[in-house]
Structure 1
Amino acid sequence: MYIYKVFFFFLRCVSAMSKLRHSGKMRVGGPHNFVMVDESKFTHKRKYNRGRASNRASWGFGMLAIKNNRKKPILKIVRHRSANHLMPHIKRYVRCGSTIVSDGWRSYHHLRDEGYNHLTVNHKECFVDPVTGAHTQNVERLWVCKSTIWRLRGNRTENLLRDHLNVIEWTYWRGNHHRSGPLAMLLHDIRKQYPV
C-alpha cells in the first residue's frame, strides 16, 4: 500500500511541475535579483564494489533564486557540464538582467555575453568572496538530497532521478507555500486534477 502512495505522490508532483513548466511561469531572476547555479554528479553507487557499475554520468544542474526568504530551485539532469549543455537551461529559466552567482567553472565564462551579470567565487581560496560577498552555498545545500535519493534507490535510472528532482522542485515551488503544509497542497492538487 505504501508503494502505491509514494508512486501517486510522485505522479502528482511530476504532473504539477510539468504544467508549471509548460505554462512559462517557471522562470526565476530578473533585474536586481540573484540566481545561484551549481552542478553535482549523480551516479548509482555499488555496495561493497559488487554488482554492475553504472556507465552513465548524470549531472544534476541547479539554478536557485531566493527572494523574500522564498527559495525557487530549478533542477535539471544534464549529460555534461559544458556550456553547450548548461547555457540552454540558463537561457530558458533565468531572465535576462539577472545576476548569476557561480563557481569558477569555465562553462559560465560567457554569461556576460548572454545579458547576465556574473559574480564568481573561487572555492580554492574561500567559500564567500570577500569583495562582493558572492557565494553558492544555498544551491550547494540542495545537493544534500543526494543521500536521500541514493537511499531510496532513486538514481538507478534517469527517469526515476528526474522524478525525485521534480518532487524537490514541487516542495519549494508549491508544497511549502500552503498555509497547512505540503500535504494540504498535495490534496489540493489532487482535488484540482480529479474533481468530484
Structure 2
Amino acid sequence: MANPIKMNMRYLARMGIITDLDKCIAFLRKHRLLASRMDCQGCGSIMTEERTSSTADGLRWRCHDSKCRTTATIRKNSFFEKSNLGLIQLVILTYYWASRTPQRRISFEAEISKRAIVDWANFLREICSADLIDRKGPIGGPNSEIAADESVVARRKAGNRQGRPVKAVWIYGAVDLVSKEAFVELVPESGRTTENLKEITLRNVRAGTTIRTDAFSSYRSLSDWGGMGYKHRVINHSLHYVDPVTLFHTNDIESFWRQAKELLKLQNGVSRRLIPSYLDQFLWSRMYPKEDHFMRILEAIAANPKYYMGSEV
C-alpha cells in the first residue's frame, strides 16, 4: 500500500498549489471548492471561461449570448467569494488556520493583515459549526462512562463601560472515558443551577450512562434527571482527586478543559460572543488527527449545501 500524501506546506509548494495560480485553481476545482461549469443567471446559457486581467484570479466566466454578455467571477457561489484576498493567499491562510498557527506569525509569514486573518478564521469556524450539526449527537449509553464538569472561560468583571458588572462565562461538558466523544455548551447566564445542567445533560447524554462528577451541589439529584437511568459516581475533591478505594478521578475532563482553553489562549483574547464558535472549532478538530485538519476543513466546505460546486472533477 502506498504511503498517504502528507499535505504540508512543502507538498503544496512542490505541487505548485501555493506558487502557481492555475494549479491552485485546478486543486480547488478537484476538491469541489470552485465550479467547473457556470450557468448564466441572466439568460440561463452555459458560460465559458476566459482569461482576464481585470480580476486577481486571472479568469472569469462570460456569457456569449450576444444579447446578454454577462460576466461573473470564477468564485461565484463559492466559499471563496467571501474574501478579496487572492486564492493562493486563502489556501495558505486555511492551511495555517488548520495548523493552529498564531495570528501574529500568519501575518508575518503570509503578509496578510490581521483583520483579514480574523475574518477568514471566523468564516472557517462557521464551517466547523455547520459540519458539527450534521455529525454530533448524544454521547454515552448503558455501557459507557463519562466525566462531566463545568469550567469558567471568561471571568466576572466588576464593570463594563456603562458601569454594570459583567457575569462570568461558564461552560459545561463531558467526555467519554473510552471513545473520547465529547460535548460542551455555554451555561445560561442564570448560572450553574441544577436545572441548567440538567437540561444540557439531557440534550447530550444517552440514557443509562454512568456519569462521574465532582461533589458540586447541582449534581446531587443527577441519578433522577429526566428518568434517564443515569448512574452517578462522585469524586469529592475536598477529600481527594483520586478516590483511594475505587480509583475514580476526573482527570479526563480536566484535560479536556485544558485543551479547549489552549485554543482560546492562542487568539490573545476572544470576544465573549465568539466563544461558542471557538468551542465548535475545538470539538470539530478533536474528530480528526491534527495533520488531517487542512483537508478535512476543505471537505467540510465542499459538503456544505451553501457552497455546493457539483461532483468531483
1:9 and 1:43 mapped to 2: Cα distance? 23
Which runs of structure 2 are paired with 1:87-102 in the superposition (5 Å)?
87-102=198-213
Corresponding residue number in structure 2 for 1:146: 261
Corresponding residue number in structure 2 for 1:189: 300
2:249 and 2:230 mapped to 1: Cα distance? 17
5+ long unaligned stretches in structure 2:
1-115
Look up the SS of the partner of 2:177 in the other structure: strand
AA aligned to 1:176 is: P
2:298 and 2:266 mapped to 1: Cα distance? 26
State the superposition RMSD in angstroms: 2.4
- Work out whether 1:164 is the aligned partner of 2:278: yes
Corresponding residue number in structure 1 for 2:289: 176
- Work out whether 1:109 is the aligned partner of 2:220: yes
Q: Name whichever structure is richer in strand by fraction.
A: 1
CA contact (8 A) 2:155 2:168 kept: no
Which runs of structure 2 are paired with 1:5-84 in the superposition (5 Å)?
5-20=120-135, 25-43=136-154, 55-67=166-178, 70-78=179-187, 79=189, 80-84=191-195
Q: Which has the larger radius of gyration?
A: 2
> Deviation above 6 Å: which 4+ runs of structure 1?
none
TM-score, structure 1 normalization: 0.82
Note the alpha carbon deviations across 1:154-182, whole angstroms, 9 max, x for none.
Answer: 2x32x30111111111112x3339xx612
- The aligned length equals 183
AA aligned to 1:143 is: W
Shift of 1:36: 0.7
Look up the SS of the partner of 1:143 in the other structure: helix
1:110 and 1:130 mapped to 2: Cα distance? 24
5+ long unaligned stretches in structure 1:
none
CA contact (8 A) 2:172 2:186 kept: yes
Higher relative CO (Cα under 8 Å, sequence separation at least 6) belongs to: 1
Shift of 1:149: 1.5
C-alpha spacing 1:31/1:50, structure 2 compared with 1 (3 Å): closer
- Work out whether 1:130 is the aligned partner of 2:244: yes
TM-score, structure 2 normalization: 0.53
Shift of 1:50: 11
Quote the sequence identity (%).
27
Shift of 1:76: 0.7
